[in-house]
């Protein structure tokens, strides 16, 4: 047990949790529910390496700097997207309209690419400034070049500088958030 005030590491269990399996299992469940309660947006992340492209549903996203303009995305190491972002060094964040929430279920597995038809899983796209795919029906896109990759264990936090962005739908379009779905991720 560590003393309060930062004289040593505490985690992962605080002192108030008894050191037995039941108490720890209860706390594990509680911690998951608390982490699930954190508010998030919900996005589609475009990635590209060479001829390979993907779109992936993601909620671990935030801006992390004003100057330069940096966006951080947390990507699971086992995901195809991870390989493409790590190798390609770019990603494109797409926001989607709130009323378009069904789209989120279409991008939880690697996409089927139809280059001749210009679609990913049947959804029309075009390549952004970085070459990463922009969803044609996105509300807005934020195209980024990776500046740092931080190893976070099961995920990598890719930090990208915004090199292009625009609205594709009217600026006042309400965009999708995690609370618009019954899904959870994290915890
Ligand atoms: C609501 C929701 C949110 C998600 N958020 C993330 C996320 O923040 N980071 C992540 O790596 N995967 C997230 N996923 C999982 C990915 O969408 C996807 O299932 C998995 O990582 C495989 O991606 P791939 O197509 O790149 O292989 C989320 C899935 C859902 C349904």
Rounded to whole angstroms, how far apart are CA atoms 125 and 138?
A: 9
Whole-model pTM: value is 0.95
Tell me if residue 66 falls in helix, strand or coil: coil
**For residue 44, what pLDDT is reported?**
98
Nearest-CA residue for atom 5 of ligand 1: 58
pLDDT in tens, 4-22: 666 688 889 999 999 999 9
Ligand 1 centre and the CA of 67: distance in Å?
Answer: 28
Domain 43-180: homologous superfamily in CATH: Electron Transport, Fmn-binding Protein; Chain A (2.30.110.10)
**For residue 186, what pLDDT is reported?**
87
Which conformational region is residue 50 in: left (phi greater than 0), alpha (psi within -120 to 50 degrees), or beta? left
Q: What does the mean pLDDT of the chain come to? A: 95
State the closest ligand 1 atom to the C-alpha of 56, by its place in the atom list counted from 1: 17
What is the percentage of the chain residues whose pLDDT exceeds 90?
A: 93
Q: How many CB atoms lie within 10 A of CB 31?
A: 15
Q: Can you count the helices (H) and strands (E) in the chain?
A: 2, 11
Assess whether pLDDT exceeds 80 at residue 2: no
Assess whether pLDDT exceeds 60 at residue 3: no
Average of per-residue pLDDT across 95-102: 96
The reply to whether omega before 148 is within 30° of 0 (cis) is no
Q: Which two tokens stand for residue 62?
A: 């935030």
**For residue 1, what pLDDT is reported?**
47
Q: Which two tokens stand for residue 100?
A: 């378009």
> Which position has the token pair 């049947």?
122
Domain with CATH 2.30.110.10 in the chain: 43-180
State the closest ligand 1 atom to the C-alpha of 82, by its place in the atom list counted from 1: 26
Q: Which two tokens stand for residue 166?
A: 């625009």
What is the percentage of the chain residues whose pLDDT exceeds 70?
A: 96
Q: Are strands 123-127 and 43-49 parallel, antiparallel or unpaired?
A: unpaired
* DSSP annotation of 184: -
């Amino acid at each position: 047990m560590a003393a309060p005030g930062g004289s040593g590491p505490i985690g992962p269990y605080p002192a108030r949790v008894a050191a037995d399996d039941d108490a720890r299992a209860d706390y594990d469940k509680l911690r998951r529910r608390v982490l699930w309660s954190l508010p998030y947006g919900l996005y589609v992340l475009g990635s590209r390496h060479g001829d390979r492209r993907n779109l992936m549903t993601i909620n671990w996203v935030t801006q992390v700097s004003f100057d330069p303009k940096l966006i951080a995305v947390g990507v699971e190491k086992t995901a195809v997207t991870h390989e493409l972002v790590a190798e390609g060094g770019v990603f494109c964040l797409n926001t989607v309209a709130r009323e378009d929430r069904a789209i989120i279920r279409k991008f939880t597995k690697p996409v089927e690419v139809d280059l001749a038809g210009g679609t990913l899983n049947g959804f029309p796209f075009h390549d952004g400034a970085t070459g990463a795919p922009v969803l044609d029906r996105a509300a807005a896109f934020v195209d980024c070049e990776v500046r740092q990759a931080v190893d976070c264990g099961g995920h990598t936090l890719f930090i990208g500088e915004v090199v292009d962005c625009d609205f594709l739908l009217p600026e006042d379009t309400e965009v999708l958030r995690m609370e618009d779905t019954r899904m959870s991720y994290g915890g």
